[in-house]
A = this chain, B = another copy of it.
């Protein structure tokens, strides 16, 4: 500020030409290098912004020996961020007030923090670790090619262009309203569409008010556990069973008790000495991971058990859409007259997992508390996604997608069975369930498990050992193979590779 006009003029020239160092070998594009260096110079604050005019893009390009378009790109970015302003006819100037004050000029020199070890909460220490390392972590998402990881579906078949078109439609029709805070209960149209779907196709009994939109099944588990379970109260889970239920209930403070599975489903305690469970996690339509369907007799007995013991049943109806043989049974919720079943479903797993939308169908008396829990946890789910999904379901795209995928999966399933028995039938007995997107393959020679697992990992094939899903259950060694996400060629390639490796 105390500089003379002359010095200021010289200073401008310095910014423009001399301070800039462009490195043509760097990964950072030239226009971004230029943008960054000008920005940093402006932000250093040693400027009289008001009167600083930048050289023309033409002059600067000539001086630096780069294309004029490159300079323009940098200027546009600086302009968009508010560092520059254009005065029509008289060139580009530094903005009157910079967009932000840079508060940490020496950020590059910030020292590593010296941190004293944190005292974490007990519940964090109680989250069971995932046993098979990064099996369900990011890794799987990115890994291309066939891996037979059970959790994966054929997301490349999702009609994302239809989805985006519906999204544009709901944005056009509902406008800014969709951008505002929304209900913790969930989008009313979506709740209506889901209630209709569950009544029509799953034999559920419900009113749209009983539907609560969640950020997926994991959150549905957390909401249920946090609403019902006090620290130390008992939660039953199926053993073997869905490991994420164990994690959620444990995190909520429950004493998690594994219950064995027989041919009809979860075994109900005979002794009345045992502490009654507050909540019981079950997968009646397709036991995860073993695949049996819970018998009608067991369903009735379970509901009666819940009624007399004042327990709630958490019904995870995860694979009901992908049933390939045998008649469907109505969901547990539809058999229940006493409001003991919390039904959880997912739409995002059928559409695409990163959407993070699911729902609870709750007994009426739990609805308000669950909405309150959702509000405290994270308020609500994306309103645009919810509105888009409502339209996707109510206009029939959901059903037609399910139908198309069921055909595709039935075909891949047949092919997998045939190829697997052909190529690996000497080592495994493949168990074929009526529903779901994975198989359990039992080892003919139990002792071979470590050998086979190691061989699979070495060639990038990652079926999950059945033991991963067990707490106390001692089952014969088996691997679970997903088949849904891969083409015939990929399935054959993966199985061939594994068979060759095992030779």
Contact = CB atoms under 8 A, between A and B. Distances in A.
B121 A228 contact: yes
A231 interface: yes
A115 B158 CA distance: 40
A28 interface: no
Contacts of A385: 382
A314 to B, nearest CB: 13
A435 B229 CA distance: 42
A16 interface: no
Contacts of A137: 183
Q: How many copies does the complex hold?
A: 2
A81 interface: yes
Interface string A377-417: 11111111100000000011101101100000000000000
- Chain A contact patch, size range: 35 or more
A141 B188 CA distance: 14
Interface in A157-215: 158, 160, 164, 168, 171, 176-183, 185, 199-205, 214-215
Contact of A356 (B164, B204, B227, B381): B381
A378 B222 contact: yes
A158 B179 contact: yes
Most chain B CB neighbours (cut-off 10 Å) among A352, A356, A395: A356
Interface string A107-123: 10011011111111111
A247 interface: yes
Contacts of A403: 81-82, 99
Interface stretch (A264-272, A332-340, A421-429, A471-479): A332-340
A226 interface: yes
A345 to B, nearest CB: 14
A42 interface: no
Interface string A213-256: 01110110010001111110000000000001001100100000
A89 interface: no
Nearest to A168: B164
Interface in A24-70: 43
Most chain B CB neighbours (cut-off 10 Å) among A101, A177, A200, A327: A200
Contact of A338 (B116, B226, B400): B116
A334 B111 CA distance: 11
A183 to B, nearest CB: 4
